[in-house]
Amino acid sequence: MRLRMDLAYDGAGFHGWARQDGLRTVQGELEAALATVLRVPSLSVTCAGRTDTGVHARGQVAHVDVEAAEPDRLRRQLDGLLPDDISVRRVAMAADGFDARFSALWRRYAYRIADHPETVDPLTRGHVLAWRRPLDLGLIEQAATLLLGRHDFAAFCKRREGATTIRTLLSLTWEREPGGLLVGSVVADAFCHHMVRSLVGCLVAVGEGRRPPEWAGEVLAGQTRDPSVTVVPAHGLTLEEVGYPPDDELAGQALAARRVRTLEDEA
């Protein structure tokens, strides 16, 4: 049977999602807890988006295949075993054809920046980037529109041999919250390694006035990693939500995604 798990975690204490020998990771902690509860030697958990070292998640989705389990009881047992920086919010029987990674239509990340002294809060420093210079929201919005659509985002990605960097950026919006915090929301079918943090780095340069808005489009058109684009720190980034089609379309979406995607989803 396949189970769907919805979870959240504070990424500060993890070397990303993916299991790595000798390093603390979200996947490693979750698989160890599952193996203990289910009394099996090992198992493998698949997630919707493999977050990088230091990146947080509120809306991560994963699946695991098990012989048998009672979902609500399993969630309670995991809650008692997992460390405080991981929370499994829901465990449920997965719909037919569900694949946490390949059935996903989109992933939404948020990047939070405190760019004025009055918005810098030591209590939120673990998930908000404190930026010493004010950013112009209007300039950022102008630049962001040039990045939308289906493109080769190689200029914003850490390339991996044999992997595609073509992605569809569905939405890239920015707003100031009532307290003055600047929040960027990024939605795409998938993300390649460092893509979100590089996009934000590009837009921050524009927002500071160091680059004109059209520079973002020029970087994108270059289709090669641009060293002038700063990769902003990981701690300001959070995976907020993953979108899936209706249950009767899950299997078809997974099949289509497997055909075109060769790079595992990372932020």
Please name the residues in contact with 81: beta carbons below 8 A apart, sequence gap of 6 or more.
Answer: 33, 36, 37
Instruction: Supply φ then ψ for residue 142, to 5 degrees.
Output: -60, -45
Respond yes or no: is residue 121 known to be catalytic.
Answer: no
Q: Which residues pair with 168 in a beta bridge?
A: 150
Selected catalytic residue, list 52, 115, 189, 265: 52
How do 106-114 and 149-152 pair as beta strands?
Answer: unpaired
Question: Which tokens go with 231?
Answer: 């990769």
Return the active site residues: 52
